[in-house]
Structure 1
């Protein structure tokens, strides 16, 4: 895919990403910033996009990861944004922000657990994660669709066991 075709595809898909950005941020300005960050990252990393894969799923993944990274950075800093006209930043280390959705799992440990998977499980799992359908994975890997489903199921099971330490305790 040429740079021009890639840019056109990004521009065409940007409108479908806006509702997802709004759902994540719940603020119009933050959603626009997230969408812009996503488009910049996608464009600068266009060489990493595998042609023939699902561009929309790739963009959603970039957006979600960008949002999580920004959120975790904000939590680590313990920074509050004053929403008055002057937009002051007030640092406060005495306040701890907890969020059960993003605080339960450490992204680095997830990637490490995925890397530990045998290639036979990791490949179909990552293809499914990137947006491929079961039949597309089966065609690409030249294996039966039932085998694809089984390997993805086993990969999820192994990851769940490996990341059990992060299971929320009541």
Structure 2
């Protein structure tokens, strides 16, 4: 059995705890973190748009001018992903595989879940009430397109059923 645990800043604790509770002892657990490609790409674009393709005349890249901030952001994102995966592995406290991917987050999660027996996902939208808005856009896409069963968890205790929105009025 393979269990994919989607690790996201702010909700990963609940996903790891769900894996500890629901994954059989002999399951292969994969901790998955996906870094969106859009932030470093935006930094590359801003740099190119504001400063042109090269560095400003009279300034040398070694002096800090001309260094594309997108590359630095990619490095920081990769380091952050590794730190998050390490913290998740420590909390899991059992053998696991750490997988860091970069791309369109929702599509990378769905692709990583191909062939898995279970995908663990945390709610990341409006968590003050029950309902479909408790899922953000990427999580909604993953839940709707996952090629395996999905365990959807609350990162904190779920709100009471009194928070369910009223039925629509037909009138």
TM superposition score category, shorter chain reference = under 0.3
Q: Structure 1 or 2: larger strand share?
A: 2
Higher-Rg structure is 2
